[in-house]
Structure 1
Amino acid sequence: MSLALSLSVLGAVLGCSSEAGPGTGAGAGGRADAPETERHTSWRRARVLVGDGRGGSLHVIDIEDEEVIAELDAGGPAALHGTESGDYAVAVGAEEVRFIRSGVAIVDHTDHIHIYKSPPKVLDLSLSGASPGAFVSRDEWLSIFFDGTGQAVMVKEPSLNAEEPEVLSLPPVEPHRGLAAPLGDAFLLSFPPEDEPGGLPLGLNVLSADGEVLEGVSSPCPGLHGQTAIGGGIAFACDDGLLLVGRDGGTTTARKLSYPSADARSFTLRSHVERTTLIGDFGESTLLAIEPEDGAARLFEFPAPVCHFELEPGRGEQVIALAADGNVYALDLASAAMAAHTAAVPAFQCDDAVRPGLALAPDYAYVTDPAGGEVHEIGLRSLTITRSYQVGGAPSAVVIMGLNLKNVNVAPGAAHD
């Protein structure tokens, strides 16, 4: 709440469903793809953060204002991640991690919300180390694992607005492509296999806040890569299945879901706060949907390799995918129906050093086009480009700021609305 109160002095009330109905405010009239009479005012909060794939420039697009409102500097090309609250984004570079304040704050009054805005900003706090890799945002902690040193650094997200942010370093382990994640009253920290220095983890240990190893997670997770929240726990992608880890009353639980076949595995996982289904990649052109309760799995084939995929954040009913053929695909999970927008960007390779990226706000997808120096907004109802933003350079990484996916006001029709 301190962030919202501090910004209220600088900002203006831009949206309140009891005072300002849908369709008011800058740019509202131009969004025919999703009529404002059907949308909650909370769409106004979203901002799009775009990173240049060859330099350190960051551009911020305000969805309500329909314009680029700021150009910032991350110090070099970086992977971009949003935080659970939406208050910040994190830029993970080659040797440095920077934090970007979204400039959006929400005061939720249950039956309506107030939205406050101020200029986005790169914070003074930065973390340095060799090969920062996996990022996790969970339970108000932001975790960065430095692959080159085996050091996991945790930052308390609400404290980023304080003069001295709360930063916690877990005891280092052998360097590897690991991760750390908060879980209940403890932290999970990966450890590497003995025969593969610098490789993917073999499993997870449970640590107390002061760094003491309490226990090892009972099931190993060879080749651990990819995680997502599921209920009060975390799902991890392993070579031999999905590992579900939870913690209740000081007890850690773990169980494994088998893949539907041994032909592939998942490396990336997605979930939605209102749904139980886990979505993962399963080979180049296939996505996997699996139910944690009974392990029931479905496979969805795409016409081209899937390079990025996300669950639509408002309702979680669709998977939106950007494929190597340059198309944006919308997959309805209930019906398995698939639609596509042809040639959103030129065809590319999923492992290109500088490649198109995908980020989602309720009702809209944002796709970067490094070749054209543009960011395309695609309406998810019609799968048409509703507008394009010229940012120059080679826009690649992209993430949404300002959306708290646990907030009940994300989108109309969401379960809590």
Structure 2
Amino acid sequence: MHRLLERAAPLALLATGLLSGASARADADAHWRIAVADREEPVVRVIDVADGREIGRFATEAPAALRLGASGTVVYAVQGNADLVQAIDSGIAFEDHGEHRDLTIGEPRLLDARLEGGKPSHFVAGSGRIAVFFDRDGRAAVVREADFLAGSDRPGWYDTAAPHHGVAATAGAHVLVSVPDAEDPADGPDHIRVLDADGRPVGGDHACPDLHGEAVSASLKAIACATGLLLVTTTADGPAIEHLPYDAALPEGKATTLAGGTSLQYFLGNFGPSAVVLIEPDAEPAFRLVELPSRRVTFGIDPLRSENAYVMTEDGSLHPSAPPIVNATRFFHGIAARAHRGTPAPAATGNRPALTLS
């Protein structure tokens, strides 16, 4: 297991790759599984948290980044070097009985469902649908997750002006797509465009220079820009988008990665090498900077208990944040924040944080 964790690709999202079997009741009625991708080999392993056993191993076509689906029980292996997205069923399922949900446990399995296209990158799940942006094609696939996994639905495709490192997300019946820089698409996107179900633009584009990073918190979507955040709410008339500028009291910098709370509406973002920013759009101030004792390596929010967030720093400490960040636990002597490499990533599994190393 130690060797596996040393080579593991990170579980993003504070548990992207975390397959939760938690019901709405207590942890005693929960079951937890973690999917771990290998950054060197094309394989995804599923581990049972209760006893640490590997209960499934699935070959992919390239090393994968793992993303959690809208259901919370299926993980997607996004394989940019293989032009492919595959789906792995955790074996955990819920049956809704109104006042409660029954939890059933089975074997994990690699599903037949596949999305193919040029260099898949950003994966966004929400409201029962998934959206995947394919950088080399400059277009996005959007599909209802349950139908896609059952093999009964084909994705809708939404084109942009040129290939670029972009993003797409759903907002009710509409789709949000990034718009590449008009002069040089390689510079990345600088606007968000709203499309209807047929791919037609709705209204004007929304400026978002240096667009990178998105998250969902409850019913609110946030997209990170150099100037602040675009906040997206879904209304009966379509998406409503407003710009939330960075607070003047913040130092120079920007967020490029976001995580969103589920039961509490807030966002956590990176902001410079040694800080994170807590974002509460309706608060005053909306942005609160949290300085860290050393350089940040990664961060995330507990998907079930949004009051719990975790930040790992380069000195090897895992900081639980409620916020402010206090009571750091030292896990390792030190961890380098390497560019273009996998990094440690926290994942919440009931009352126990899990950690992968790469």
TM range (shorter): 0.7 to 0.9
Alignment of 1:27-66 (within 5 A): 39-44=26-31, 46-66=32-52
Q: CA deviation at 1:92?
A: 1.0
Identify the range of structure 1 (235-244 vs 352-361) with the bigger mean alpha-carbon deviation.
352-361
Cα offset for 1:89? 0.7
Partner of residue 187 from structure 2, selected from 194, 199, 205: 199
Q: Which amino acid aligns with 1:331?
A: S
Shift of 1:125: 2.4
Cα shift readout 1:220-264 (whole Å, capped 9, x = no counterpart)? 111111111244331110000011122312243222212233501
Once residues 54 and 69 of structure 1 are traced to their aligned partners in structure 2, the CA distance between those partners, rounded to angstroms, is 20
Aligned pairs for 1:224-373 (under 5 A) are 224-260=211-247, 261=250, 263-294=252-283, 296=285, 297-333=287-323, 336-344=324-332, 346-370=334-358
Report percent identity of matched pairs: 29
Q: Distance in 1 between matches of 2:22 and 2:219?
A: 31
Q: Which runs of 5+ in 2 are unaligned?
A: 1-20
Find 2:164's aligned residue among 149, 172, 176.
Answer: 176
Change (3 A) 1:222 1:42: farther
Unaligned runs of 5+ in 1: 1-13, 19-38, 371-417
* Contact kept in structure 1, 2:179 and 2:191, CA below 8 Å: yes
SS in structure 2 opposite 1:215? coil
Rg: which structure is higher? 1
How many angstroms apart in 2 are the aligned matches of 1:231 and 1:347?
33
Query: Who is 1:380 aligned against?
Result: none
Partners of 1:163 and 1:135 in 2: CA distance: 19
Q: Deviations over 1:31-89 (max 9, x none)?
A: xxxxxxxx433431x21000111001111111235421111112221111111311211
Tell me: CA distance 1:42–1:281, structure 2 relative to 1, closer, same or farther (3 Å): farther
Q: CA offset at residue 111 of structure 1?
A: 4.7
CA–CA separation in structure 2 for the residues paired with 1:199 and 1:88: 33
Query: Which amino acid letter does the alignment assign opposite residue 241 of structure 1?
Result: G
Give the alignment partner of residue 145 of structure 2, picking from 147, 150, 157: 157
Structure 2 counterpart of 1:98:
86
Corresponding residue number in structure 2 for 1:391 = none
SS of match in other structure, 1:216: coil
Could you tell me how far apart the structure 2 residues matched to 1:307 and 1:82 are? 21
Q: CA deviation at 1:147?
A: 1.0
Asked if 2 retains the 8 angstrom alpha-carbon contact of 1:54 and 1:354, the reply is no
Contact kept, 8 Å, 2:84 with 2:117, in 1: the verdict is: yes
Is the CA contact (8 Å cut-off) linking 2:298 and 2:343 kept in structure 1?
no
Aligned position for 2:6:
none
Structure 2 Cα separation of the partners of residues 16 and 322 of structure 1 = 28
- Whole-angstrom CA distance in 1 between matches of 2:325 and 2:180: 41
SS state at 2:328 partner: strand
Secondary structure at the residue paired with 2:30? helix
Query: Whose RCO is larger (CA < 8 A, sep 6+)?
Result: 1
Q: Tell whether the 8 Å contact from 2:70 to 2:129 is kept in structure 1 after alignment.
A: no
Contact preservation (8 Å) 2:134, 2:140: yes
1:126 partner letter: R
Aligned pairs, number: 333
Q: CA deviation at 1:351?
A: 2.0
The structure 1 residue matched to 2:204, chosen from 202, 210, 216, is 216
Cα deviation for residue 344 of structure 1 reads 3.9
**TM-score, scaled relative to structure 2:** 0.86
8 Å CA contact 2:190–2:208 kept in 1: the answer is: yes
What is the alpha-carbon distance in structure 2 between the residues aligned to residue 338 and residue 180 of structure 1? 35
Partners of 1:151 and 1:268 lie apart in 2 by 21
C-alpha separation in 1, matches of 2:226 and 2:100: 45
- Deviation string 1:348-367 (CA, Å, 9 cap, x unpaired) is 22425243333222322221
Matches within 5 A, 1:74-113: 74-93=60-79, 94=81, 95-113=83-101
Local SS of the residue matching 2:57:
strand
**Match for residue 128 of structure 1 among 109, 113, 116:** 116
Change (3 A) 1:82 1:199: same
d(CA) in 2 for partners of 1:196, 1:42: 52
Q: Deviations over 1:247-300 (max 9, x none)?
A: 312243222212233501001111212212221111111111122114512111
Distance in 1 between the 2:218 and 2:284 partners? 15
Deviation (angstroms), 1:169 = 1.2
Q: Counterpart of 1:287 in structure 2: which amino acid?
A: V
In 1: Cα distance, 2:241 partner to 2:24 partner: 42
AA aligned opposite 1:61: I
- Counterpart-to-counterpart distance in 1, 2:342 and 2:222: 29
Q: CA contact under 8 A between 2:172 and 2:238: conserved in structure 1?
A: no
Measured against aligned partners, the alpha-carbon deviations of 1:127-154 in whole angstroms (never above 9, x if no partner) come to 2322211110011111111111101011
Q: Structure 2: how far apart are the matches of 1:196 and 1:361? A: 43
